[in-house]
């Protein structure tokens, strides 16, 4: 209910997923009457169970407000359905901060995890077409042990979600040697390096912002503040270039003709740089999987988020991730 | 001498600038025999003075190493020519950290400036076609007073370099309200807001990574670490999309034909997203202007950096910037 486009977009997205994946069923959380009407219109009644929830967490609610009004919201109800085992995974287009807080409070952190993270997929020149970056959750601070845990969780995600047997992990930093200076980054680099063999990943060391979409790494580890800035800067750049591209092809009669000729190629390009196609941040480190879709998600985006959720459930990765984190507990974990 | 492509690219760039701007003269620093040969080949002898410098600061030298070998390098010599008034501005493709350290040591900081900054131009949907962002210098830490000074210097740069009478300043942060948490960012926001009227700029408040290339701001203020990550992430994204674009247009015979038809439009697009066209970071806060060109700069990039250097010299902006910083000294400046 909390997405920018309301429940109609969600039901439209579900409709696409349902026709592509005959085996999955959906539990929709929100005002029963409204959802029922939408579901009937799409002829999805036999695939969808509706759980009535009259309240909504809004985009401008602070996470603490969302927690206070908590029960009775569609977001709470969706998380609850994962908590009690009715659902295998929750997908939400709502307020990210609220979703993270509610998920953490209700699902609780995995044993040994101090700070859960949000991992996103980033289009790249990798064979798999995307890299994983975490954390992008805008959290204020990550110390060296948090960054080590992000490396472990990111490696597990890449291995189980994308079949990369021995993922390459990089730690995001700035370029100039002299300034590789934040103490927690140097310490984190040592810690991650020491754990690479045991956790079956390859540590490639520090990487820079321009390496994020490259084939040099599979997983980029950073704190939530820096990750959020990098992600949004890249999104802004992609949007700027899309605008320039549109202008360029509307510029003259010849270029419009060219657009017609190049239609399928342009469409393929557009799909590759379209953030809706790789929609879905995954919360790592909780007892249960939560996929965060963009707030402005449309049917295409929702379907992409559901697809990711399905992949994760089928690979049973959250159990494997839990085992991985538990196997390597940094020395001062319990401080 | 320290650029990736060596002095031939520099002389080729100078040659372009020289033919476009009949009034400027050049002082080239480096091994005399080698430069003399290149200059004669380009028939530039009447426009260029060569200052012999046998040593080179390399890309992988640490700034402290560069400072130790200092005198006798082409970088040192170029900065010295600004220091003693022979040159109006220095342009270098060399090692950024070394250039910043040598410039700071030899030119010294402007009165009242605690931490000089590197400002870059960022393609945007602004009427001027680009926004200014600072600092991108990879410096480890900026406190609230440093960020206020960046706002003042950035405003002065936008006003004098790009004729924006009342620049709009934004402070880079992450999106979610709850996590607008780094204390120095909150304090910096208050400080910048308080000084907006006196310093004749408009403070638009916090902006996010996707606002950097937007028409919401003219100047984006951030610490060097975050700025460097944002800049490199955007560069990586632009490069990724250029690669996708190339693939898309090579995909079929029809799309190749389309490429021919759309040639001028594609070329215009390519120019707009080509980082070489907006090449040139400017060091702000020193007694003298230094323009940092990309290490991998080719003739086009060098010419762009020289063009920027010329604009800055003609607008006499460094004197105006000095006056602006001196007029507003934060209370604890001398601590």
C-beta of residue B98 within 8 angstroms of C-beta of residue B63: yes
Question: pLDDT category, B28, cuts 50, 70, 90?
Answer: very high
Domain boundaries, chain B: 116-277
**DSSP secondary structure letter of residue A290:** E
Chain A segment 99-138 residues within 8 A of B by beta carbon are 123-125, 138
Nearest CA in chain A to B61: A177
Q: What is the nearest CA distance from B141 to chain A, expressed in angstroms?
A: 9
Contacts of A104 in chain B (CB under 8 A): none
Q: In this model, does residue A333 exceed pLDDT 50?
A: no
Q: How many Cβ atoms sit within 10 Å of the Cβ of residue B175?
A: 16
User: Which residue of A125, A138, A230 is in closest CB contact with B175?
Assistant: A138
Q: Which of B123, B135, B236 best tests the A interface by mutation, with the highest count of A CBs <10 A?
A: B236
Question: pLDDT category, A177, cuts 50, 70, 90?
Answer: low
Q: What is the nearest CA distance from A115 to chain B, expressed in angstroms?
A: 15
Give the model confidence (pLDDT) of B189-213 as tens digits: 999 999 999 899 999 999 999 899 8
State whether residue B335 sits within 8 Å of chain A by CB.
Answer: no
Nearest CA in chain A to B97: A176
Question: pLDDT category, A148, cuts 50, 70, 90?
Answer: very high
Chain A segment 150-179 residues within 8 A of B by beta carbon are 172, 174-179
* Domain A1-113+285-314 fold: Isopropylmalate Dehydrogenase (3.40.718)
Predicted structure pTM score: 0.84
Inter-chain residue contact A229 with B172, CB threshold 8 Å? yes
Q: Is A115-278 a CATH 3.40.718.10 domain?
A: yes
Identical fold, A1-113+285-314 and A115-278: yes
Q: What is the nearest CA distance from A302 to chain B, expressed in angstroms?
A: 22
Give the model confidence (pLDDT) of A275-306 as tens digits: 555 567 899 999 999 999 877 778 888 998 99
Question: pLDDT category, A313, cuts 50, 70, 90?
Answer: confident
Give per-residue burial for B79-111: e unless 16+ CB within 10 Å, then b.
bbbbbeeebbbbbbbbbbbbbbbbbbebbeebe
Q: What is the nearest CA distance from B322 to chain A, expressed in angstroms?
A: 27
Contacts for A197 with CB less than 8 Å, ≥ 6 apart: none
Which residues of chain A form beta strands (DSSP E)? 26-30, 48-52, 89-92, 117-123, 130-134, 168-172, 202-207, 219-221, 281-284, 289-292
Inter-chain residue contact B262 with A254, CB threshold 8 Å? yes
Question: pLDDT category, B265, cuts 50, 70, 90?
Answer: low
Inter-chain residue contact B209 with A228, CB threshold 8 Å? yes
Contacts of B255 in chain A (CB under 8 A): 261-262, 264-265
Q: What is the nearest CA distance from A213 to chain B, expressed in angstroms?
A: 6
Contacts of A140 in chain B (CB under 8 A): 179, 181-182
| B133 phi/psi in degrees, rounded to 5 | -125, 135
User: Which residue of B181, B243, B257 is in closest CB contact with A140?
Assistant: B181
Give the model confidence (pLDDT) of A18-57 as tens digits: 999 998 999 999 999 999 999 999 999 999 999 999 999 9
Given the candidates 3.30.300.30, 3.60.15.10, 1.10.390.10, 3.40.718.10, the CATH classification of the domain at B116-277 is 3.40.718.10
Question: pLDDT category, B51, cuts 50, 70, 90?
Answer: very high
Q: What is the nearest CA distance from A280 to chain B, expressed in angstroms?
A: 17
β B48-52/B26-30 pair status? parallel
Report pLDDT for A261. 66
State whether residue A19 sits within 8 Å of chain B by CB.
Answer: no
Report pLDDT for B278. 59
Which of A147-156, A236-245, B36-45, B108-117 has the lowest average pLDDT? A236-245
Chain A segment 58-77 residues within 8 A of B by beta carbon are 60, 62-64
Nearest CA in chain B to A255: B262
Q: Measured between alpha carbons, how far is residue A130 from residues A123, A232, A272, A308, A318 in Å?
A: 4, 17, 10, 13, 20
Mean pLDDT (chain A, rounded): 86
Contacts of A249 in chain B (CB under 8 A): 262, 265
Beta bridge mates, A55: A73
State whether residue B97 sits within 8 Å of chain A by CB.
Answer: yes
State whether residue A181 sits within 8 Å of chain B by CB.
Answer: yes
User: For B311-320, what is the mean pLDDT?
Assistant: 82
Inter-chain residue contact B175 with A273, CB threshold 8 Å? no
Inter-chain residue contact B229 with A174, CB threshold 8 Å? yes
Q: What is the DSSP string of B100-146?
A: HHHHHHHH-BPTT-SS-EEEEEEE-SSTTSEEEEE--S--S---HHH
Rounded percentage of chain A residues whose pLDDT exceeds 90:
49
State whether residue A256 sits within 8 Å of chain B by CB.
Answer: no
Rounded percentage of chain A residues whose pLDDT exceeds 70:
87
Task: Give dist(CA B86, CA B80) in Å, integer.
Answer: 9
Cα torsion A140, A178, A149, A68 to 10°: value is 0
């Amino acid at each position: 209910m909390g997405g920018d486009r309301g429940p109609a977009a969600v039901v439209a997205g579900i409709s696409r997923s349902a026709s592509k994946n005959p085996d999955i069923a959906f539990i929709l959380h929100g005002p029963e009457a409204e959802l029922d009407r939408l579901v009937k219109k799409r002829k999805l009644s036999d695939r969808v169970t509706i759980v009535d929830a009259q309240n909504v967490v809004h985009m401008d609610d602070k996470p603490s407000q969302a927690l206070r009004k908590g029960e009775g919201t569609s977001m709470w109800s969706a998380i609850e359905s994962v908590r009690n085992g009715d659902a295998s995974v929750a997908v939400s287009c709502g307020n990210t901060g609220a979703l993270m807080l509610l998920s953490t409070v209700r699902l609780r952190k995995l044993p040994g995890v101090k700070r859960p993270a949000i991992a996103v997929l980033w289009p790249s020149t990798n064979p798999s077409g995307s890299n994983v970056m975490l954390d992008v959750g805008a959290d204020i601070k990550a110390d060296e042990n948090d960054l080590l845990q992000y490396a472990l969780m990111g490696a597990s995600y890449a291995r189980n979600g994308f079949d990369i047997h021995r993922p390459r992990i990089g730690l995001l930093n700035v370029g100039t040697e002299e300034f590789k200076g934040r103490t927690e980054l140097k310490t984190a680099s040592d810690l991650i390096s020491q754990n690479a063999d045991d956790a079956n990943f390859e540590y490639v060391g520090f990487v820079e912002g321009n390496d994020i979409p490259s084939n040099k790494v599979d997983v980029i580890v950073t704190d939530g503040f820096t990750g959020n800035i990098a992600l949004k800067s890249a999104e802004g750049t992609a949007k700027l270039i899309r605008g320039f591209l549109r202008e360029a092809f509307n510029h003259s009669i010849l270029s419009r003709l060219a657009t017609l000729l190049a239609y399928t190629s342009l469409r393929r390009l557009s799909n590759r740089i379209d953030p809706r196609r790789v929609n879905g941040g995954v919360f790592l480190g909780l007892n249960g999987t939560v996929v965060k879709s963009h707030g402005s998600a449309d049917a295409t985006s929702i379907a992409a988020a559901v697809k990711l959720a399905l992949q994760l459930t089928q690979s049973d990765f959250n159990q494997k991730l839990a085992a991985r984190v538990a196997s390597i507990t940094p020395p001062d974990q319990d401080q």
